[in-house]
Amino acid sequence: MASRNLHDIAAKMRDIDIAFLTTRTDGGELAARPMSNNADVEYDGDSFYFTDDSTRMVGDIERDPTVALQFSGKDGFFVAVEGRADLIRDKQTFAEHWNPDLDAWFEKGVDTPGLVMIKVGAQRIKYWDGEDNGEVSL
């Protein structure tokens, strides 16, 4: 098993835009959905995603903040993240992570009613890169 650090993994993740965010529902089932990181990809173990406060995903996180992220990159590179999600409702923090592409989804920008940002703090990262694989704990 190879040994890579977070910096090595982050460099390979730089071009990945979409992750699947998995939560546990109130019935105990797993629910996954694609989420864009909107080019917020200087990965340091934290990921940020915007959504509407009324989504099932937000309710799932309020009940159980343990989540998973799955990323699929180029040439057989895959990452699975286990972590904790926090819901952020602060406009100043929104602005720090805002990208103009988000305007297509949230027409009033950071002032969109019900806007919430999900911050996923990684606790464990597994990666597969061809025949190389390993794990990083944070």
pLDDT of residue 4: 85
- First CA to last CA across the chain, in angstroms? 18
> Distance (Å, rounded) from C-alpha 65 to C-alpha 95?
23
Backbone angles phi, psi at 56, to 5 degrees: -60, -35
pLDDT of residue 14: 84
Which CATH code is given to the segment(s) 6-137?
2.30.110.10
CB hemisphere CA count around 127 (13 angstroms) = 26
pLDDT of residue 34: 96
Pure H helices in the chain: 6-13, 56-63, 91-97
pLDDT of residue 3: 77
Delimit the domains of the chain by residue range.
Answer: 6-137
Tell the residue number behind the tokens 């699947």, with chain if given: 20
pLDDT of residue 17: 87
| Cβ-contact 3, 130 below 8 angstroms | no
pLDDT of residue 12: 87
pLDDT of residue 130: 87
pLDDT of residue 108: 95
Can you list the residues of the chain whose pLDDT is less than 70? 1-2, 38-41
pLDDT of residue 40: 56
Please count the residues of the chain: 138
pLDDT of residue 138: 85
pLDDT of residue 43: 81
